[in-house]
Amino acid sequence: MVTADGLQARDLTVRFGAATVVDDVSLDVAPGEVVALVGPSGCGKSTLLRVLAGLEAPASGAVSWAGDDLTRRPPDQRPFGLMFQDHALFPHRTVGENVAFGLRMRGDRRPARQARVAEVLELVGLGGFDDRGIDTLSGGESQRVALARSLAPSPRLLMLDEPLGSLDRTLRDRLAHDLRAVLAASGVAAIHVTHDQEEAYAVADRLVVLRAGRVQRDGPAAEVWRDPGSPFVARFLGHANVLDPAAAGALGLAGGLAGVVVREAALAFSSPAQTAGNGRTWLATVVDVRFRGATSQVTLRVAPAEGRPSVELALHTAAPPAVGATGTLVIDPGEVSPLA
């Protein structure tokens, strides 16, 4: 997305010695938009965030907001907020004092500070916590206080660097949905850095996928999931069925230069073998079943024809067949996307 009103980052490159960590990255974020910056550890996500915040200087490129060049401005002169994974709360200050810190540093008067602190604490679901000590908070409450502190000065862009990374999975899932609601209610634009694709889907409107410092895919979350564009992005986003050109050809699936991604919605397996419906039909054998809680992951081996390689495909089901069972596999070509 290209916008003249929000963040514009152009051709950013960051080098640490001989290593290029961010490589010619351009990024736009519109006012009110929430973007998830995702990718494996070491791909440059946090470094890019630090450049946008003014904590790192790029070797080349520019950062601006609504056309105002910020590239050489220090962090305190940028209209941005930044929240880290460790929350960085002041242990000797109360919740209210932590939230008010940025307001006090910019010189807001006490009545205005108190009103704003009460407002943002209510927004994050901690109304009345003003006088609580930091050491009395749970992990989720600490995360909310850090978020309130970041929102208190009314930044135009909020940058969140793995804000839920230190929490357990159940709490992370719940707070990801809460974070989305808070961002929507505040109306602030945000860049959410995470290596967890499920968290990214829960929080963001848009995904930007990085690999080795370069943008691999940028688009609406549902669109990127459906059409990842490359084997790397497909696998990173959790697609189990990424087929190279030989495997795709063996199943008669038209693909790109790098093969295809077969979304799980494309697959329907029934045992014993029976007449198939729409799509392409193959005889398949169950070669593995892995329990995953509410569902099990079933791996099927398809032997398309003599002289062609066998192909393995995975799907999830609440009623898994036994290993060794054979049946009919139907593949819907409408749920298959080419990869380049």
Q: What does 174-196 look like in DSSP terms, one character per residue?
A: HHHHHHHHHHHHHT-EEEEEES-
Of 213, 215, 216, nearest to 13 by C-alpha is 213
Please state the pTM of the whole predicted model.
0.90
pLDDT digits (tens, 9 = 90+) for 62-78: 999 999 999 999 999 99
Q: What integer pLDDT is reported at residue 318 of this predicted model?
A: 96
Give the residue-averaged pLDDT of 118-137: 94
pLDDT band at 162 (very low <50, low <70, confident <90, very high): confident
User: Phi/psi at 192 (nearest 5 deg)?
Assistant: -110, 110
DSSP SS3 for 131: coil
Cα angle at 288 between 262 and 309, to 5 degrees? 55
The residue ranges of every structural domain in the chain are 7-235, 263-334
Of 259, 270, 268, nearest to 309 by C-alpha is 259
Give the residue-averaged pLDDT of 330-337: 95
Q: Give the chain's end-to-end CA distance (angstroms, integer).
A: 22
When the pLDDT of each residue in the chain is averaged and rounded to a whole number, the result is 92
pLDDT band at 2 (very low <50, low <70, confident <90, very high): low
Of 306, 309, 268, 314, nearest to 289 by C-alpha is 314
Cα–Cα distance measured from residue 29 to residue 190, given in angstroms and rounded to the nearest whole number: 8
The dihedral region occupied by 274, where left means phi > 0, alpha psi between -120 and 50, and beta the remainder, is beta
Q: What integer pLDDT is reported at residue 280 of this predicted model?
A: 84
Share of the chain above pLDDT 90, in %: 82
Cα–Cα distance measured from residue 229 to residue 220, given in angstroms and rounded to the nearest whole number: 13
Q: Range with the lowest mean pLDDT among 164-168, 177-181, 276-280?
A: 276-280
Architecture of domain 7-235 in CATH? Answer: 3-Layer(aba) Sandwich (3.40)
Inform me whether the pLDDT recorded for 300 exceeds 70: yes
pLDDT band at 276 (very low <50, low <70, confident <90, very high): low
pLDDT digits (tens, 9 = 90+) for 197-219: 899 999 999 999 999 999 999 99
pLDDT digits (tens, 9 = 90+) for 237-269: 999 999 999 999 999 998 899 999 999 999 999
CATH topology of domain 263-334: OB fold (Dihydrolipoamide Acetyltransferase, E2P) (2.40.50)
Q: Are 176 and 204 in contact (CB under 8 A)?
A: no
> CA 165, 169, 174, 180: dihedral to nearest 10 degrees?
40
For strands 296-302 and 280-291, give the pairing: antiparallel
- What's the count of helices (H) and strands (E) in the chain, helices before strands? 9, 18
Helices 95-105 and 139-151, axial angle in degrees (round to 10): 20
pLDDT band at 309 (very low <50, low <70, confident <90, very high): confident
Q: What integer pLDDT is reported at residue 332 of this predicted model?
A: 94
Q: What integer pLDDT is reported at residue 271 of this predicted model?
A: 87
